Amino acid sequence: MPRQTRRVPPTIGRFNYWLRWIARPDGDDDLPDCVPTVDKEALPESQRIFRAMRDGTEKPLLLVRRHRSLRPILGAAIEDDRVLALAAYIARDRRWQENREAWALHRQLSKNIQERLERFDERRWRRGRGKKWSQLLRQIAKDQLIFHEILLDGVTGAGVVEGSWRRLGTKRGDERPSVWKRHGISRAEAKRIYDHYIGTANAIRGLGVKPLNAAWAKALHKLGFLDKHGRVPTEPISSFLTDKSRADRKEKGFDLVHHYFAHALCNLHRYQSGRYDLNGSTKLLWDPNACMASCVELQLKLARQHNTI
């Protein structure tokens, strides 16, 4: 059965995708708790009702009453319990495409019924002007490259903060343009990208996590949860940084951070093309060394496509 492209999940965005289960690099039991994830949030009751209706074991009164309202959309196909079950599930849960069973059933139906259900989904959840995969993936890839360059140059060298952006060791006139100028964006946009990525980048390198605000910092300090740098301690995501000093973790973790976000992008790309499901286990498994080249290759390809828009 050919793969079909899913819609962009409503909870996936430009600056939160790595927190979602469908994108988060996974496969290592030692992933740090400091990188939170939101797992499999589809409503259990919605799934139970969907299965019961699909299998013909139950027709809850509430959903039977919807039979009439769905008939103009689905036509005679609504007499099929499977179609009614899927339509009822769509009506209750906007993330229905992330459910493996619902997506598998959708693909088994005729092309005509699939199109009718998709139009119902658009009308029910007002998806007409929703996010597009091509735009989102290319923007994420571009953001990742910009963030990686900011890490390599430093926030001052990259021109993200006010002050001299000349790289150390260069002569006057040899300075290269700041990151935001090289990529044709504003300084504010470059800083926005940096601010969104740096927290997770520090956490996976074992540099700790800053408290949300002064009140949290005061409470955590009182409980003894902060280190001498005023952060909640975290363990690095890769064992090769475990025994390193804070300075070494910061300097030697650039490639790890680059791969981590590129890997999350690859997982999103695989999900978009139908290669795995939210309830499945066929994500691209995380390995700090094995798949870096392929992950970064996809990242560069998508970033180049963004530049041609």
User: DSSP character for 4?
Assistant: -
Q: End of a domain among 79, 109, 125?
A: 125
One-letter amino acid of 213:
N
How far is residue 5's CA from residue 221's CA, in Å, rounded to a whole number?
A: 48
pLDDT digits (tens, 9 = 90+) for 227-257: 888 898 988 888 888 888 888 888 888 899 9
The answer on 159 and 249 residing in a single domain is yes
Phi, psi for 285 (deg, rounded to 5): -65, 140
Residues 116, 184 within the same domain: no
- Residue where a domain terminates, one of 77, 102, 125: 125
Q: Are residues 210 and 65 in the same domain?
A: no
To the nearest whole percent, how much of the chain has pLDDT over 90? 21
**Is there a single domain that holds both residue 284 and residue 202?**
yes
The verdict on residue 60 lying in a domain is: yes
Please state whether the predicted TM-score (pTM) of the whole model is above 0.85.
no
How many domains does the chain divide into? 2
Q: Which of 7-11, 92-96, 124-128 has the lowest mean pLDDT?
A: 124-128
- If one counts every other C-beta atom within 10 angstroms of the C-beta of residue 300, the result is 14
Question: What sign has the CA pseudo-torsion 41, 212, 27, 10?
Answer: positive
Same-domain pairing of 107 and 168:
no
Domain limits at 153?
20-38+132-307
Domain assignment of residue 260, yes or no = yes
**Is residue 95 domain-shared with residue 173, that is, in the same domain?**
no
% of the chain beyond a pLDDT of 70: 77
Q: Is residue 198 part of a domain?
A: yes
> Each residue of 206-222: pLDDT tens digit?
998 888 888 988 888 88
Q: Which of 99, 125, 151 is the last residue of a domain?
A: 125
Same domain, 241 and 168: yes
Residues 55 and 168 in one domain: no
- 78 forms beta bridges with none
CA distances (Å), origin 126, targets 91, 120, 137, 181, 197: 12, 9, 22, 37, 30
Domain assignment of residue 100, yes or no: yes
Question: What is the phi-psi region of residue 230: left when phi exceeds 0, alpha when psi lies from -120 to 50, beta otherwise?
Answer: left
Asked if the structure places residue 2 within a domain, the reply is no
Quote the tokens at residue 55: 């299998």
User: What is the predicted pLDDT for the residue at 295?
Assistant: 93
Summarize pLDDT for 262-283 with one digit per residue, the tens. Answer: 999 998 888 887 665 544 445 7
Residues 210, 65 share a domain: no
Q: Are residues 114 and 233 in the same domain?
A: no
The reply to whether 4 falls in a domain is no
Residue partners of 108: CB distance under 8 A and separation at least 6 = none
Are 221 and 83 members of one domain? Answer: no
Q: How far is CA 219 from CA 10, 216, 224, in A?
A: 34, 5, 9
Nearest to 110 by CA among 140, 150, 147, 80: 80
What distance in Å separates the CA atoms of residue 166 and residue 164, rounded to the nearest whole number? 6
Whether residues 55 and 165 share a domain: the answer is no
